[in-house]
Structure 1
Amino acid sequence: MLSQAAARPVIITGLSGGGLSTAAKVFEDKGYFVSQNLPPQLILEMIDLAASDESPVDRIAFVTDVRARMFNGSLLGTIEEIKARGYDPFVLFLEARDDVLIRRFDSVRRTHPLQLGETLHAGIERERIELADVRDRADVIIDTSNLSVHDLRRAVEASVGELPADRQHVTVESFGFKHGSPRDADIIFDVRFLPNPYWVEGLRQFRGTDEPVAQYVLSQPGASEFVDKVVELLASMLRGYRHEGKDFVTVGIGCTGGHHRSVAVSEAVGDKLKQRGDLEVRVLHRDLDRS
């Protein structure tokens, strides 16, 4: 029988060029049996097969993209049917900005599956429209625009964890506004009201994960009060999200470069959320190593 972890079959989907193959490798490394580009009906059959007493499969994941539309059935319909059969599917959706997707396709000299003899941009736009409903139902959305392969692996691992079905997952992600806001964040806070350690003698070379910077940032007037109010606000919002069936929430906390203030505050918010004991909390620093 499927274990508790595998009772949540994983659907990895999203935009072509968004990083689906990299995400699939993460799940393979975590012990999942990963099938790629199965027609919708075969996904259902595979889940039932994996649930049988004779199945050697303990955890199962599927990678599927817009090419599955060539077969009868839709991905959204498949997700609903999986739920109707008593499973709790976890849907991971990967995307990126148009300019990034175009650059990725150009680098490998591939055409987009929905290009249809037109421009690459037209194909990407068609795909966004076709997958919009699935994106709306996703448990976790990851924007891979600014992520290296290694960063993407860390983002998938941080967002997914071990997929316990009975707990909410919160990812607290620091970032730098000069690199763009994370498109996959559900909530964004701006901590640029705090003094920047970058301009303090002896602190520039450190990061918000280092004690001197963390102590400096969190000792500033209003800093600890801000952390407490963010946690208090999130407590209320998380209850609402849970009521609406949203178990995966990403909180973005930004400063200028994503090195100091946002990192220290994200760590502090993450620590306080972990103290609640009823959440699966991950802290991710998107721009910590960027110049």
Structure 2
Amino acid sequence: MTQSSASESQKILLITGVSGAGKTTALKTLEDLGWETVDNFPIKLAGQLLKIPASGGESGPNIPLALGFDSRTRGFDAEMLIRQIRKLQAQPDLEIMTLFLDCAGAEIERRYAETRRRHPMAQDRPAMDGIAMDRSMMMPFRQWAEAVIDTSKLSAHDLQVVIRERFSSDTSPHANITVSSFGFSRGVPHNADLVFDLRFLRNPHWDIDLRPMTGLDSAVADYVAADPKYDEALQKIRDLLGFLLPLYDAQGKAYINIAFGCTGGRHRSVHVTETFGKWLREDGFALTVAHRDLTSRPIDALEEPANGAERLTSRQGSNIT
């Protein structure tokens, strides 16, 4: 790394943790934030990497660097690696921090089962054996790391939000906003700052033609928007956000999650989330639109009945009991 005349130190984030806790998601999020990222990097080679001139060049600030590694990394030895990192931290031109991603064993097992992948430490044995071995190998880093994030109850999107909140260098005068949809039947997002319940709008789930569609389809959007209370309700919510968001900006709040919920999270909330995403972008806000339950399977038992009757109604007028 060039010494220079670089006006600021090189910022380096070491990301490690137990397998399945979200390292890849964290690295991809940092890359989206403008960081240089390298996964499965042998830390013992960090000295050689840092001799390469920083991407910021002589005329600009150094681009922050994130290095991902875990127990699968070649030559992994926790105690030895910690000693090497301490030596690097002693260099005045380096600002090094370690982030450890942890997760409960049962959740890791579920994630591997869901993706149909074998745990890297348990190719020929039960997954929990590999999880226990991995945790034992990584324990020195968990005890030593400056920052620990437990992802046991976080979705991939939730983890992205946490990483952005901690490591974004965005200097926009506005908060970075996430506008998301969800289904109340599958739980309220734990990280939502503002929650709006849209279950007062008529439910496309009970229309046989609309049920397989989602709020991204124009037929569903038209159906929801035709509700007599739709225009007035959305305008009142828009007015409320127009009042609140500048107040959050004044308090220096960097991230706000606005969540719109309906019963299943596939129709009403999806359409309204897309609508507010468009409106807020027009108002100059940087934002992310996310749909937590968009791909979830529609289940009658989770939906509230239409007009008190548990039935599907065809748009052509026939009823299915």
Q: TM-score, normalised by structure 1?
A: 0.60
Are residues 1:261 and 2:268 paired? yes
Q: Give 1:218 deviation, angstroms.
A: 2.1
More helix by share: 1
Q: Give 3-state SS (helix, strand or coil) of 1:283's partner.
A: strand
Superposed CA offset, 1:199-218 (max 9, x none) = 12421122111111112112
Q: Which amino acid aligns with 1:59?
A: I
Q: Give 1:187 deviation, angstroms.
A: 2.3
Q: 1:19 aligns with which of 18, 22, 31?
A: 22
Aligned residue number for residue 199 of structure 1:
206
Q: Give 1:62 deviation, angstroms.
A: 2.5
> Aligned equivalents of 1:254 and 1:98: distance in 2?
30
Are residues 1:62 and 2:66 paired? yes
> Aligned equivalents of 2:260 and 2:103: distance in 1?
20
Aligned residue number for residue 275 of structure 1:
282
Aligned residue number for residue 258 of structure 2:
251
> Aligned equivalents of 1:188 and 1:168: distance in 2?
17
> Aligned equivalents of 1:115 and 1:253: distance in 2?
37
Q: Is the 8 A contact 1:218 1:265 kept in 2?
A: no
Superposed CA offset, 1:77-121 (max 9, x none) = x9xxxxxx9xxx9xx99887874235347952444699669xxxx
Aligned residue number for residue 165 of structure 1:
171
After superposition, the Cα gap between the structure-2 partners of 1:219 and 1:130, relative to the gap in structure 1 and judged at 3 Å, is: farther
Q: Is the 8 A contact 1:175 1:257 kept in 2?
A: yes
> Aligned equivalents of 1:195 and 1:204: distance in 2?
13
Q: Is the 8 A contact 2:182 2:188 kept in 1?
A: yes
Q: Which amino acid aligns with 1:62?
A: A
Q: Which amino acid aligns with 1:242?
A: D
Q: Is the 8 A contact 1:208 1:259 kept in 2?
A: yes
Superposed CA offset, 1:5-55 (max 9, x none) = xx9x6968697433122331454588742257999xx9xxx7xx8487548
Are residues 1:208 and 2:212 paired? no
After superposition, the Cα gap between the structure-2 partners of 1:182 and 1:97, relative to the gap in structure 1 and judged at 3 Å, is: farther
> Aligned equivalents of 1:111 and 1:60: distance in 2?
31
Q: Which amino acid aligns with 2:227?
A: Q
> Aligned equivalents of 1:22 and 1:178: distance in 2?
26
- CA RMSD of superposed structures (Å): 5.4
Q: Is the 8 A contact 2:35 2:66 kept in 1?
A: no
**Long gaps (5+) in structure 2:** 3-8, 72-77, 84-88, 90-94, 123-129, 298-321
Q: TM-score, normalised by structure 2?
A: 0.56
Aligned residue-pair number = 252
Q: Which amino acid aligns with 1:165?
A: T
Q: Give 1:65 deviation, angstroms.
A: 9.8
Q: Give 1:250 deviation, angstroms.
A: 1.4
**Long gaps (5+) in structure 1:** 2-6, 73-77, 79-84, 118-122, 136-140
Q: Is the 8 A contact 1:33 1:57 kept in 2?
A: no
> Aligned equivalents of 1:183 and 1:215: distance in 2?
30
Answer with 1 or 2: which has the greater Rg.
Answer: 2
> Aligned equivalents of 2:134 and 2:218: distance in 1?
50
Q: Which amino acid aligns with 1:194?
A: L
> Aligned equivalents of 2:191 and 2:133: distance in 1?
24
- Percentage of identical aligned residues: 31
